[in-house]
Amino acid sequence: MISSREIIELNAGRAIDILVAEQIMGWQLETDKPKLRRLQRYFARDERRRWWRNPEGGWYCEPPPYSSDMIAAWQVVERMTSRGQVLFLSQSSEGSKVSFDEPGATSLDCVNGKSVIVAICKAALIADVQRAEVGIGIDPILRSDTPVLATALT
């Protein structure tokens, strides 16, 4: 899993969009060969094309541009809210400070950035990393908050 430090260093673009799609929004690369063959029949063949499946069951060639489009970024806010995370946002002429945390949180680890859109994505990813560190994650099947095993069984 990517670290908070690595998330902070990311720039807007495909890397953040893919991380948000997979870790926050529940998108997955389609790996089912029969489905891939069917999709390739409907669209021009491109061996480099990768198909993404969203949790609702639709297929797309690319995840939404979460780090550059406010409508897509707001979907991230809505997903985090549905997980019980509250958006903390402060804006000034110098930039934005964004964090996601529990509703009663008092000490926040904010992401600072000139772009509120990028800051929303980074804050969501960092909140996800922090939740995983304490053993709370998102069940990829149920798409709901459930405790996950934090240590490997041996």
Identity of residue 84: G
- Of 77, 85, 72, 92, give the one whose Cα is nearest residue 127: 85
Residue spans of the domains in the chain: they are 69-147
Rg (CA), the chain: 17
Beta strands in 5-151 (DSSP E): 28-29, 52-53, 59-60, 86-92, 95-101, 111-113, 136-138, 145-147
Q: How far apart are CA 68 and CA 79, in angstroms?
A: 17
List, run by run, the mean pLDDT of 10-residue segments along the chain (154 residues).
87 92 89 73 65 80 91 96 93 92 82 94 94 65 38 29
Contact (CB, 8 A) for 21 and 66: yes
pLDDT of residue 136: 66
Beta bridge pairs of residue 59: 53
Question: What pLDDT does 46 receive?
Answer: 60
The pLDDT, as a whole number, for residue 36 is 66
145/82 Cα distance (integer angstroms): 9
Question: Any idea which fold 69-147 has?
Answer: Double Stranded RNA Binding Domain (3.30.160)
Q: Provide the pLDDT for residue 29.
A: 80
pLDDT at 146: 40
